[in-house]
Amino acid sequence: MRLFLFLGLLLVFVLEGTDSQYNRGEMLYFSKGCNGCHGPSAEGGGSAPRLAQKHQDNLIKRLIDFRAGNVKSQSQEMMMQFALKLNDQEINDLTYFFSHHKCGDDEDVSSELLGGFGS
């Protein structure tokens, strides 16, 4: 009986933790102004790529590269200015939100901004 109670409580804490990370990422997305270019649902548009449902590891790598100044184009330089203001926890929260957020558009948007990364 105790084992089932322990497992149930563990499941609640795990689910709450991921919801919190998703919510923190969503709050950062809007408070940092990401939605201005990438759209209200991270669906992308114009020269801004879709971020919703992209692989988290690839997004983390790109944001860390941007933050380190590893850019190859003018549009990537613009992203560098945003990434410089992000700490590791914020990058993890944002990319968790992106990788789990469904934008309702299944079309994959490729862009040199992401350097070929994504789904």
**What CATH code is carried by the domain that includes residue 11?**
1.10.760.10
What pLDDT score was predicted for residue 1?
65
Within-domain flag for 118: no
pLDDT tens-place string over residues 38-89: 999 999 988 899 999 999 999 999 999 999 999 998 888 999 999 999 999 9
What pLDDT score was predicted for residue 21?
96
Task: Give the whole-angstrom CA distance, residue 109 versus residue 118.
Answer: 9
Rounded to 5 degrees, φ, ψ at 48 are: -90, 125
Q: 17 is in which domain, residue-wise?
A: 2-38+47-100
Average pLDDT, the chain: 81
Within-domain flag for 108: no
Binning pLDDT at 50, 70 and 90, where does residue 3 land? low
* pLDDT: which is higher, 105 or 101: 101
Task: Give the whole-angstrom CA distance, residue 13 versus residue 17.
Answer: 6
Structural domains counted in the chain: 1
